[in-house]
Chains A and B, each alone.
Chain A
C-alpha cells in the first residue's frame, strides 16, 4: 500500500466516524420531528415509517391551542427571567468584590461559593418544602424564584469572578485617580467591560432555570402554575383522559421547547463555551 493510499483510507475512515457521530447527535431530534408530523394512524402502525407519506401539523395545532401549555411557557419565561436578573444583580456585586479586591476572608468565601456550585438540591429539599408551605408560597412561582437561586447564584458569582479577575487593572486605577468611588468604578468602568460576560452568565443561568424539574415538581401543583418542564411531564395524563398517551403531541411539544434553545445556542455558541470553560481548562 502506498502512502497516498493509506492517507485516502484514513481520510475515508475519518469521515465515516464523523458521520456516525453526527447521526448519533441528531437522530433523536430527527425522530422527534418525524413523530410530531406523522398522522396517528401511521404513527401507531407497524412497520414503523421513517418519514410520513402525508405529513401533518395537527399535533402542533393541538399543542399550541392548549391553554395550559402556553401558560407553562409563560410561567417558565417569567421564572427564568426573574431568577436570571436577580442572580446577575446580586452576583455581579459579589464577583466585583471577589475579583478585584484583596481582603481577609476572601479565600473562604471563594471556597464556599465553589462548594455551593456542587450543592445537591435534594439535601435541602425537606427544609425548603417546609418553609415554602409555612410562608404560603406553595404552588406559587415565587417558591421557584427564591429556591432556584440555590443553583444559579453561586454559579453566577463563580463565573463572573473569573471574568473580573482577567480584566486589566489600569482602567480601574485610572478611574480611582480621577476620583471615582468604587461604586462609580463598578458601573461606569467595569460594567461596560464585563457586559459580554454578563450575557454569557445570564444565558447559562436562564437555561438552568428553564430546565429545572425537581423543585417545580415538588412545589407546584395546579396546571396554571406549571413550568414548561412540568407541563411536558404531565402531558400524557392531562390531555388523553389517561388511556392513550398522545405521543404525537408530546413530540410536537418537545420540538417546540427545543427550537428556542437551539436558536440561543447557535447565536451564543462561542460565549456559552467561554462561560462554561472559564477556568475549567486552566484549572
Chain B
C-alpha cells in the first residue's frame, strides 16, 4: 500500500473571496466535521497507540501477567544497546534494504526504458508487470521457496544439472551465505516491475522533441540518457527511492514466510513482533518498536536533507 508516491501538497483550488467571512466560517466548520471521522480513526489506530507504545517502552509491562507494571526509565533502551540480536536484526534489515533498493531502481529503470519503446504487445506487457505487485508477498514467497528447494528446486537443476555453472546443489535458503540475497531476489522480482511502471509513467510525460533536438546535435543515446532523461526523471526517482527504502526497512512478510523466526535472519520488524506476540514482553517490545520508528525517521530526515541541499 505504501508504494504509491505522494503529490506535493497543493493549495485548495477553490478560492473563496475573503469578504464572505460568514460563508468562510461555515465552510471551515463543515470541513472539520467532514474530517472528523478520519481524524478519529487516525488518532485511534495510530497516534494514540504510538503514544502508548512510547509510554510502555519505559515500563516492564508484560501481557497476561499479574506482576504490577513498573516504570523502569531507560532500562529497556539500555538493554537494547547491548542486545546482539537487535543489532544483528538491524544489520540484516539494512543489508536487505541496500540490496533491494539498488537493484529495484537500476533494473526498474532499465525495464522502463525498454518498455517505453514502441512494440506490439506493449499494453499486455504493462498489465503483466502489475501482477507481481498485486499478489500477496506470502504468495510470491511460497512460489520462490519451492524454486529454491535444495533438491527439487529449479535453480539447482538449472545451474548444476543443465548449465554446470555450480559444482553441487546449493541450499539457497538454509545457507547463511546465500539466504539474504535469495530473499532480496524475491522482493526484487516482486517490486521491480512496479518500480518500472512508475518510472515509465514519468518517462511518458517527457516531450519527445527534446530527444529529436539532441539527435540533431549529435548526442548519442547514452549521452541523451545521462543529460536529458535522468535529470527529468529525478523527482520520480527520488520519490521512488524514499518510498522503497521505508518499505524495505520495515520488511516482515517475506522473511517470516521463508525463515519463520530463525535467529540469524530476523529483521527489525520480526524481532519486535516476536518479542511482543510470542514472548508477551510489552515493555521491551515497545522499546524495539520505538527504535525502529526512530531508525526509519533518521532515514527520512537524511533523504530529505540530501535532496533539499542538492536542490538549492
Chain A residues at the B interface, C-beta cutoff of 8 Å: 14-15, 17-18, 21-22, 24-26, 28-29, 31-32, 35, 43-48, 90-91, 93-94, 96-107, 109-114, 116-131, 133, 146-147, 149-155, 157-159, 162, 165, 169, 172, 182, 204-205, 207-208, 210-211, 213-214, 217-218, 228-229, 232-233, 235, 247, 250-251, 253-254, 257-258, 261-262, 264-266, 269, 272-273, 275-283
- CB B233 to nearest CB in A, in angstroms, measures 9
For this complex, into which size category does the number of interface residues on chain B fall?
35 or more
A110–B38 Cα gap in the complex (Å)?
Answer: 12
- CB B307 to nearest CB in A, in angstroms, measures 13
- B130 is an interface residue with CB less than 8 A from chain A: yes
Interface flags for B123-139 (1: CB within 8 Å of A; 0: not) read: 00111111110111111
A103–B232 Cα gap in the complex (Å)?
Answer: 34
Contact B130 A280 (CB under 8 A): no
Contact A90 B252 (CB under 8 A): no
When distances are taken between beta carbons in the complex, the residues of chain A under 8 Å from B131 are: 25, 29, 258, 261-262, 265
A106–B290 Cα gap in the complex (Å)?
Answer: 28
Known: A103-B32, A214-B269, A278-B7; 15 extra A-B contacts, CB below 8 A, are: A28-B147, A47-B161, A102-B14, A102-B16, A165-B10, A204-B4, A213-B136, A229-B136, A229-B138, A229-B253, A262-B134, A265-B131, A279-B5, A281-B198, A283-B235
Contact A25 B129 (CB under 8 A): yes
- CB B183 to nearest CB in A, in angstroms, measures 14
- CB B118 to nearest CB in A, in angstroms, measures 10
Contact A122 B269 (CB under 8 A): yes
Q: Which residue from chain A places its CB closest to the CB of B125 in the assembled complex?
A: A22
A66–B204 Cα gap in the complex (Å)?
Answer: 47
Contact A129 B1 (CB under 8 A): no
Q: Which residue from chain B places its CB closest to the CB of A24 in the assembled complex?
A: B189
Chain B residues at the A interface, C-beta cutoff of 8 Å: 1-16, 24, 27-28, 30-32, 34-35, 37-39, 41-42, 45-46, 48-50, 52-53, 56, 63-64, 111, 114-115, 117, 119, 125-132, 134-140, 142-144, 146-147, 149, 151-154, 157, 161, 189, 193, 197-198, 201-202, 205, 235-236, 239, 243, 246, 249-250, 252-253, 256-257, 268-269, 272-273, 276-277, 282, 285-286, 289-290, 292-293, 296, 300
Contact A43 B53 (CB under 8 A): no
Contact A276 B35 (CB under 8 A): no
- CB A113 to nearest CB in B, in angstroms, measures 8
